[in-house]
Structure 1
């Protein structure tokens, strides 16, 4: 008989008699961390009245490694996360939009800012740019919608958040809501 037929016969008998292992057995040593190996006992192990201690060599191999902590007691700093290509492309599009807006081309700037939002929907600077464009196009309500989105996304960027608050204050003045205008001006003054 070939090895494969013997193997299939053993598997068939194991299934027939219900002797398949119920859980995988992981071997200690250099195999730890690799795919677990299943071992089915060929004969039941004899019951022992006194448990034996594991040998030192097995114990050394199965102990998990402890993480190395710097001597100062503080955990090691994580390396800085590299920005995604989408984020970098979006930032570049925002810069192009800013240039177009500075040249007095709100329609050209609008295209760049919209592309920036499509590439990275979490780029608050793109939404701030859209708010500026719609202000130049004399659509204060639409400008305010984009400024509110920018406010949410720029919470960790104080300089741009301050600019957003000042823009919102101006827009609320245009919309004849002086109390909200005053509130946003105060928010802007609290930021550096």
Structure 2
């Protein structure tokens, strides 16, 4: 506060104008200048009846303080500019897909897109893109979800596996048709985008 007060007084050569600029009282400005003078051990201003005059020591100090405050202000603007350029991207996806496929590629994505802050939201629940919960949803399916634009991420590849005991009881299986000889378990999972608005829903498999 003392340096801000000093810079404003030196620039305006007025305690009153400095107080108005910093939205404080004139006595507060005067108190800050006195504290700064005591700390430095020099007189920064000569107080006259209706005016003030900056001393040679004060003038030299003002040049340094003004430049330092300008550097601080410039650094603050740069940080704020970078922050405003960062775009958040909320991605809803299955945990297994995030772990096994996306995670190994995150470092390269961040390096190529430093202005995008990726926020992963692992979930198996339905997600509404129109509600703002997520910007992109990656799900397993045919991609024919209503009210969204879908893009195929990759095709699925299925491989049958079984225990040695199962193979001994129901096998051998020399072709896919012979798999029907054993008990068939079916799983129906609805992973769709509900009540969505136009967005990107990418279908894929883990």
Q: TM-score range, shorter-chain basis?
A: under 0.3
**Structure (1 or 2) with the greater strand fraction:** 2
Q: TM-score, normalising length from structure 2?
A: 0.25
Q: TM-score, normalising length from structure 1?
A: 0.26
